[in-house]
Amino acid sequence: MSQHIVTGPERSRGDALLEIHGLCVDYGQGSDAVHAVTDVDLVLHRGEVLGLAGESGSGKSTLAMAATRLLREPGVITAGEVRLHYDTGSVADLLEAGTGALRVLRWSEVSLVIQSAMNALNPVMSIRTQLTDALAAHVPDMSRRSRRDRAVELLGMVGISADRLGSHPHELSGGMRQRVMIAMALALRPQIVIMDEPTTALDVVTQREILEELIDLRDRFGFAILFITHDLSLLIEIADSIAVMYAGRLVERASAQALFRAPRHPYTLGLLHSFPALHGPRVPMTGIPGSPPDLRMLPSGCVFHPRCRFALARCADDAPPLAATGTGGRVVACWLQHPPESAPTELARPEPGLEAWAPPATADGQAATQGGSAA
Amino acid sequence: MRTIARRLAFYAATAIVAISVDFLIPRIIPGNPVNAILARMQGATLSKATIAGLDEQYGVNTKTSLWTQYIHFWGNVLHGNLGTSTSNGFVAVSTVIREALPWTLGLVGVATVISFVLGTLIGVLVAWRRGTWLDNLLPATTFFQAAPYFFIAFLAIDLFSTKLGWLPSGQGHQDLDFPALNWTYISDVLDHAVLPALTIVVASAAGWIISMRNVMVTTMDEDYVLVAAAKGLHRRRVIWYAARNAVLPSISGFSLAIGFIVSGALLTEIVFSYPGLGLLLVNAVSDNDYALLQGLFLIITLAVLAANLIADFVYVFLDPRIRQEA
Amino acid sequence: MAVGIGTDRATGAASAPGSLPAAGGRSRAWRLPRSPKIIVGLVMLAVFVIIAIIGPLIAPYNPNVSFANSSVPLPPSGAHWLGTTALQQDVLSQLLSGGRSTLLVALIAGVIATALSVIIGVTAGYLGGLADDVLSMLANIFLVMPALPLLMILFGFLGHSSADNDLVVALVISITGWAWGARVLRAQTLSLRNRDYVDSARLIGESNWRIIGTEIVPNLVPVIASSFLFTVLYGVGTYTAIAFLGYVNPDHWSWGSMLFYSQEVNAETSGYWWWFVPPGLAVAFLGTSLALLNFGIDEFVNPRLRAAGLSGHPSRRTRGRTRQSFGQTAVIRADRGRP
Ligand SMILES: Nc1ncnc2c1ncn2[C@@H]1O[C@H](COP(=O)(O)OP(=O)(O)O)[C@@H](O)[C@H]1O
Ligand code: SF4
Ligand SMILES: [Mg+2]
């Protein structure tokens, strides 16, 4: 395990770290199964912040939990592969891994921060216990003393003083609890941190502070983040590339800039209008009419067509493929973009001309400029 | 300490009610208990003073007001004076109870702890293995939960004592000369305690299994259990994350359960002729030994309150949220 | 539980209070859930009710009549399917005759105790304040006091003859059995009291009694039903225990008194199992049927409790396919006709 602990920012960025191919996830089996995730392809690169957006209920959490095999019953994975690339160059398919193998790679390779910090920490155990037990499980030869030192160091990284070690979750504020979760997620210096709505339950000020700390930590340690949120405007500030989900499918994937400045899918466009940008002038929030479909009775053709204001005649019958369009590795599932000439002006703005993903110069600064240039 | 203080106040109130019930029942219920005692003691000549003492104890033929009697009653209770046991040669009730109490405390105390630990562990396992054959344990559990303790005692005796001859079917010990701290005596006492204890454990563990299983099933849905699994902790540690929380409602439910367990255990003692409080209780009723009956009611209630207080301390110890507030 | 029966109330207490889902209107409260537990429980209970009604009529013999002078009970035979007692009475006939009093007393006790617990629990929860404090304290005191010694002190002073009266026995049982229901109902009332529709009823000036009668109580039906079943269960156990101790009218048979007579001659140490096993099983299965119904209601109120085995349709999703293991999502490759 020790090789995971010495890895740091010097890792080369850019090559694939977690590859999800053709992932399908159902709730339940047989005829009344709910198809919560359908045929998702997603690649998380080394050091990248990959955003996963979509209305709530679109299958974001299901995707993340299934990819890590943490999804609870009645969730079942029905197809696909999830390939994890180790530092050493070896590759593991998480969907084929047994209990033991999963236990070893969990937290040391992939860690998790989930939404409600209140419930993510065990209410009857001290912060110290919860910080150190992952160390104890993964690094058996680590002494009690050094586990404690590491816990202090981790708390320090998120700005919490060492005297909080003995506290219990109910004694901490919501923001502190989420910081503890983040510190905990970094305990074994994983390559990947999955964050499912990590700041949704927090007030805006705390949310900002934590996001900034997070980006700092990312720059220091170079881990990749799969950042899940329903709040697309937040992703645009921190993510390198963004994937948008609708009804369990990916509908568009592009670099954050490209997606923000030049959305290609009507659903992405709708999402962009659903939230005021954190920075920049306010734009009227038009959102998306209607509500997400019942996964048991999905519409025919393009699953978005009942809510799509650009829908074509064929959209009700033919499902559009998720196919490459334009430059920079963007993929979109919409007939308007195949061929792109048929797209209306809102969906045909010029590409900002960036690569799909390139390491951001200063993640934080760049994010701000992105937001600032919203007008 | 606030939680404990509040619970203490409640137990004090309960004790006051129990003592008042003790005082009031002979005075409210129609009939003359002293006559009943005298009828029962037919033949034995009682001195005038003894009869006057009984009159006073039950508020018969007396001119003093109810309130004065009540105050007097309290005085007696606080001095540990619970009257004399008419069916035990007018020995002080406290003496009679003192002889029987250790048997009951030992048997019921040990059996209750075993049953709680065992039931809780099984409950955890059944919840963790939800959806497997272990679920079929639940209907069986329901059966044992519904079967009277004394019926289970019958079955235990029939099987392990009468048919298999493994264990004695009654009494607390062989007729050895005197209780002694030697191995023969101790192993003999243990031998006699196994079947009654087994009965109490089998009859009461079902409740703990079901309550633990139900809370555990809900607790396993909590995010922190998911996080424990995500941390790659060992399965036992993940179960511990959930069980450590799920046991709390069982402990706070202890106060409700213990009264029922004690009632069942007393009946079990009766079947086994175990020399504890249960046997005293039936004999007191059949012999019209009212003072003993009242004393037993009081002592058993106080013992149950003490058990509750212990459960409270355990709870406070296990739940940091209460601990800090306390 | 109870004196005898063995149902620890912790079970109910852990799941029941505070878990009633928002019953927006009252229609939900009335819908009868159809889970296997409820069905099995109902069928078993129906059998017992039928035995209670026609049992004494279909009994092959008079349960009091001795067939011979021997004092050695006879094992089951063609003439006596369940053998005979030490008085050479027919065990099967006693068994068939013994259900009526048990069910009747338990039912009366259940009705009285449930009425008490609804009155006290709902009043405490609805009024709040001092009334709540006093009534809750009372209920808690009754809960924590061990029932058997209390019953015995009551019967001790009442004298044996009073215990011959079934109504007195039912009354005494209900005095020791109302508190649990009152506690649960209080908690539920408390949570209903602040719901919108109660507020609006209060705003348009409905009287407290009307609100309790039309808005609160109808929404408490599942909880009242569960506490009624629980009290009947308690009544069955307690009545059997009292009869086992020999404190009920010896003129009519009950399963408890069968156990009493068998214990009198040490049937359990003499191997006369056919004498005490049938009445014991009868009580246990009657209790099981009531407990199953009760769990069915609990699961209706809190669907997460359902087990895969005896539970209803919710687990149809996973039934019989694969075992799910927490922390290791199942991978079942299935072609579901991807787009
Ligand atoms: N246990 C479950 N059983 C059936 N359907 C579920 C279950 N859990 C979630 N779903 C469905 O799966 C879909 C995706 O849920 P989720 O992954 O939580 O969405 P998101 O994280 O994007 O909000 C939702 O439509 C939800 O209704
Ligand atoms: S394929 Fe048709 S319905 Fe679907 S998003 Fe594109 S235009 Fe709208
Ligand atoms: Mg989610």
Residues, Cβ < 5 Å to ion ligand 3: A 61
Sign of the dihedral through C-alpha A6, A8, A10, A12: positive
| Residue A305 confidence (pLDDT) above 70 | yes
Q: Do A95 and C331 touch (CB under 8 A)?
A: yes
Sign of the dihedral through C-alpha C182, C183, C185, C190: positive
Q: Token pair for residue A116?
A: 């409600």
By most ligand atoms within 8 Å of CB, the mutation choice from A302, A325, A331, A337 for ligand 2 is A302
Per-residue pLDDT of chain B (326 residues; tens, 9 = 90+): 677 888 888 899 999 998 988 888 887 777 677 777 777 766 566 677 777 777 777 777 677 778 888 888 888 888 888 788 877 777 888 888 888 898 899 899 999 999 999 999 999 999 988 777 777 777 788 888 888 888 888 888 777 766 776 767 776 666 655 666 677 777 777 777 778 889 899 989 998 998 899 899 889 889 999 999 999 999 999 999 999 999 999 998 887 788 889 999 899 888 888 888 988 998 888 888 888 888 999 999 999 999 999 988 898 889 888 876 64
Strand partners, A49: A225
Q: Token pair for residue B199?
A: 């009965």
How high is the mean pLDDT of chain C?
A: 75
Q: What separation in Å is there between the alpha carbon of A323 and the centre of ligand 2?
A: 13
Please give the pLDDT value at position A268: 93
Instruction: Give the residue-averaged pLDDT of A215-223.
Output: 92
Angle between helices C179-193 and C221-244 (to 10 degrees): 170
Please give the pLDDT value at position B232: 93
Please give the pLDDT value at position A9: 39
- Distance (Å, whole) CA B90 – CA A169: 60
Domain assignments of chain C as residue spans, ordered by start: 33-62+82-307
The DSSP letter of residue C328 is B
Q: Which of C313, C328, C329 to mutate to test the interface with A (most CBs of A within 10 A)?
A: C329
- Distance (Å, whole) CA A322 – CA A245: 12
- Distance (Å, whole) CA C65 – CA C55: 17
pLDDT digits (tens, 9 = 90+) for A315-345: 999 999 998 887 778 999 999 988 877 788 8
With bands split at pLDDT 50, 70 and 90, how would you rate the model's confidence at C336?
low
Q: Do B203 and C290 touch (CB under 8 A)?
A: no
Please give the pLDDT value at position A362: 42
pLDDT digits (tens, 9 = 90+) for A179-207: 999 999 999 999 999 999 988 878 888 88
| Residue A254 confidence (pLDDT) above 90 | yes
Q: Do B227 and A120 touch (CB under 8 A)?
A: yes
Please give the pLDDT value at position A331: 93
Instruction: Give the residue-averaged pLDDT of C298-319.
Output: 52
Query: What residues contact B181, with CB distance under 8 A and at least 6 apart?
Result: none
- Distance (Å, whole) CA C19 – CA C12: 11
Neighbours of A365 (CB within 10 A): 10
Please give the pLDDT value at position C204: 79
**Residue type at A127 in one-letter notation:** I
Query: What residues contact A143, with CB distance under 8 A and at least 6 apart?
Result: none
Of all protein residues, the one whose alpha carbon is nearest to atom 21 of ligand 1 is: A61
Instruction: Give the residue-averaged pLDDT of C322-336.
Output: 73
Indicate which atom in ligand 2 lies nearest the CA of residue A314: 2
Topology at the third CATH level for domain C33-62+82-307: MetI-like fold (1.10.3720)
Neighbours of B109 (CB within 10 A): 15
- Distance (Å, whole) CA C195 – CA C281: 45
Lowest mean pLDDT among A321-335, A359-373, C272-286: A359-373
- Highest mean pLDDT among A121-130, A352-361, B121-130 belongs to A121-130
Burial of C30 (0-12, 13-18, 19+ CB in 10 A): exposed
Phi and psi at residue C262, in whole multiples of 5°?
-70, -35
Neighbours of B313 (CB within 10 A): 14
CA angle C306, C308, C311 (to 5 degrees): 50
Indicate which atom in ligand 1 lies nearest the CA of residue A58: 22
With bands split at pLDDT 50, 70 and 90, how would you rate the model's confidence at C264?
confident
Instruction: Give the residue-averaged pLDDT of A124-130.
Output: 94
CA of B93: how far to CAs of A10, B277, C124, in Å? Answer: 83, 12, 39
Lowest mean pLDDT among A61-70, A222-231, B260-269, C1-10: C1-10
Lowest mean pLDDT among A152-156, B69-73, C112-116: B69-73
- A306 cis-preceded (ω within 30 degrees of 0): no
Q: Do B161 and C305 touch (CB under 8 A)?
A: no
- The shortest C-alpha distance from B170 to chain C (Å) reads 9
- Distance (Å, whole) CA A142 – CA A11: 24
- Distance (Å, whole) CA B22 – CA B39: 22
Check if A295 has its Cβ closer than 6 Å to any atom of ligand 1. yes
Instruction: Give the residue-averaged pLDDT of C78-102.
Output: 74
Chains interfacing with C (3 or more CB pairs < 8 Å): A, B
- Distance (Å, whole) CA B264 – CA B270: 10
Residues present in chain B in total: 326
Q: Which residue has the higher pLDDT, A357 or B89?
A: B89
Any idea which ligand is nearest the CA of A312?
2
Sign of the dihedral through C-alpha A359, A365, A366, A370: positive
Please give the pLDDT value at position B176: 57
Find the CB nearest C318 among A73, A96, A99: A73
Q: Token pair for residue B216?
A: 């555990």
Any idea which ligand is nearest the CA of A200?
3
Q: Token pair for residue A171?
A: 């004694």
With bands split at pLDDT 50, 70 and 90, how would you rate the model's confidence at A370?
very low
Residue A43's nearest CA partner among A250, A351, A344, A307 is A250
Q: What separation in Å is there between the alpha carbon of A61 and the centre of ligand 3?
A: 4
C330 and C318 Cβ atoms separated by less than 8 Å:
no
Check if A77 has its Cβ closer than 6 Å to any atom of ligand 2. no
Find the CB nearest B131 among C9, C145, C318: C318
Sign of the dihedral through C-alpha A55, A58, A62, A66: negative
Q: Token pair for residue C212?
A: 């309790």
Of all protein residues, the one whose alpha carbon is nearest to atom 3 of ligand 1 is: A27
Indicate which atom in ligand 1 lies nearest the CA of residue A62: 17
ipTM above 0.90, yes or no: no
DSSP H/E element including A5: helix A2-6
Beta-sheet pairing, A49-53 with A75-85: unpaired
| Residue C209 confidence (pLDDT) above 60 | yes
Residues present in chain A in total: 375
Find the CB nearest C317 among A28, A66, A77: A28
- Highest mean pLDDT among B37-51, B105-119, C72-86, C232-246 belongs to B105-119
Instruction: Give the residue-averaged pLDDT of C103-129.
Output: 90
Global pTM?
0.84
Q: Count CA atoms closer than 13 A to C36's CA, side-chain side.
A: 13
**Residue type at B85 in one-letter notation:** S
Sign of the dihedral through C-alpha C111, C117, C123, C125: negative
Q: Which residue has the higher pLDDT, C23 or A308?
A: A308
Q: Is A74 helix (H, G, I), strand (E, B) or coil?
A: coil
Q: Count CA atoms closer than 13 A to B227's CA, side-chain side.
A: 29
